[in-house]
Amino acid sequence: MSTSRRPLFAPAWILTLGLALAPIAGCRDETPVVTARFIAFDTQIDVSIVGVSRADAERAARFLEEDFAFMDRAWHAWDPGPLGRVNQLLPTGEAFVAPPSIMPLVSLSQSLYEKSGGLFNPAIGNLNHLWGFHGDDLKGHRPPEAREIRRLVAADPGMDDVHIDGLMLRGTNPAVDLDFSAITKGYGIDLAVEHLRELGVRHAMVSAGGTVRVIGERSGQPWRITVRRPSGSGVLAVLQLRGDESIATVADYEHNFVFEGKTYHQPLDPRTGYPAAGTHSVTVIHSDAATAEGAATALFIAGPEGWVEVARRLGVRYVLMVDGTGSVVMDPAMAKRADFFDKGQDVQLSPPLVDPAAGEPGKP
């Protein structure tokens, strides 16, 4: 088995995974699904592995837990660490050597930022901090002063204010503060799946909150992924994934607080500085989990009137949206894949996201 593919950074976990590679890859007996669960990125990570022995699957899951713990520390936007150092240096305007753990997130975010017309914008970390969304416990929060919101929006921080030159980064807007929390779960899942493959695993599912990536099958059957109702409780629909696909849901019930009877939530609209309006949730299927997360965030902000155009620019082919009224809208390709819990669910179809003359779209 080839072992040429390697993680993008972090020598400590390259070594950890390398030590495990030989024994796990050598065992290929068929076994039931082995599951593991741990916490990272302030959410529950679930790992399901099929096709290797229980002992090897449990060992692989332990290594992934260590990996996720490392990534959580490296990508935390407001705690000391690599990203915290980057956010200290960017406002100086001086070029500096970027931590290897950060550069891939910058590159991916710049691509998503450009394609989404700036709707996906991790450069607004100061706005997230102003709203208090950097914390885990949002009880007792209240909206910030309108003048402070206007001040940060007027500063217009964007991913195009961050410049890459080889291994160097340089900021050109002191208002930029990077917060990659909208894609870190997905990017971590993508790296985890890559590592599982290097360990000889060909059938697995890794999930974190509303983001999931699957490879292969679940004991000969597709992986069945649920989409929650707009309230956050109960099942709206089930989607079947197999082969190599990811699904991400961004919803207003995930990170919010209530003040004077009104709910304030992420994601924030970088154009206004306030929570994006008009959408309850967006679910996207894509090949990699990080892009699915970023696209779902951008489409949530684009809202019912703008999501189709943004999805096309992002190259997304499968979208399910629940708008602010609770109505469900999806593109025709997603409609063929969604099995609704309520068989009488009213669904509106959008125009196709790809040219109908090209036939049924395959995997992104």
The mean pLDDT of 114-133, rounded to a whole number, is: 96
pLDDT digits (tens, 9 = 90+) for 158-199: 999 999 999 999 999 999 999 999 999 999 999 999 999 999
pLDDT confidence band for 10 (50 / 70 / 90): very low
The mean pLDDT of 324-345, rounded to a whole number, is: 93
The residues, any chain, with a CB within 8 Å of residue 11's CB and separated by 6 or more, are none
DSSP string, 100-122: TTTHHHHHHHHHHHHHTTTSS-T
pLDDT at 21: 32
- CA–CA separation, 262 vs 51, rounded Å? 48
The residues, any chain, with a CB within 8 Å of residue 150's CB and separated by 6 or more, are 273
Beta strands 203-208; 43-50: pairing state: antiparallel
Residue 275 reports pLDDT greater than 70 = yes
For residue 302, the tally of other CB atoms under 10 A from its CB is 26
pLDDT digits (tens, 9 = 90+) for 278-328: 999 999 999 999 999 999 999 999 999 999 999 999 999 999 999 999 999
The mean pLDDT of 21-38, rounded to a whole number, is: 60
pLDDT confidence band for 205 (50 / 70 / 90): very high
Q: How many residues does the chain have?
A: 364
State the architecture of 82-179 in CATH terms. Answer: Orthogonal Bundle (1.10)
Structure letter (DSSP) for residue 214: E
pLDDT at 357: 57
Residue 254 reports pLDDT greater than 90 = no
Residue 331 reports pLDDT greater than 80 = yes
pLDDT confidence band for 256 (50 / 70 / 90): confident
Share of the chain above pLDDT 90, in %: 74
Residue 19 reports pLDDT greater than 50 = no
- CA–CA separation, 185 vs 72, rounded Å? 9
pLDDT confidence band for 356 (50 / 70 / 90): low
Place of tokens 């991913």: 159
pLDDT at 16: 32
Are 246 and 211 in contact by the 8 Å Cβ rule? The answer is yes
**What residues are paired with 225 via a beta bridge?**
239
pLDDT at 136: 66
pLDDT confidence band for 5 (50 / 70 / 90): very low
How much is the mean pLDDT over the chain? 88
pLDDT at 26: 37
| Residue whose C-alpha is closest to residue 48's, from 35, 39, 58, 37 | 35
Are 293 and 172 in contact by the 8 Å Cβ rule? The answer is no
The mean pLDDT of 112-138, rounded to a whole number, is: 91
| Residue whose C-alpha is closest to residue 318's, from 331, 328, 306, 327 | 331
- Main-chain phi, psi angles of 124, to 5 degrees: -95, 35
Residue 352 reports pLDDT greater than 80 = yes
Residue 12 reports pLDDT greater than 60 = no
Share of the chain above pLDDT 70, in %: 88
User: 222-364: same fold as 82-179?
Assistant: no
| Residue whose C-alpha is closest to residue 254's, from 148, 335, 181 | 181
Pick one of 3.40.50.300, 3.10.520.10, 3.10.180.10, 3.30.230.70 as the CATH number of 222-364.
3.10.520.10
pLDDT confidence band for 219 (50 / 70 / 90): confident
- CA–CA separation, 234 vs 324, rounded Å? 18
Domain ranges of the chain: 1-75+184-215, 82-179, 222-364
pLDDT at 134: 78
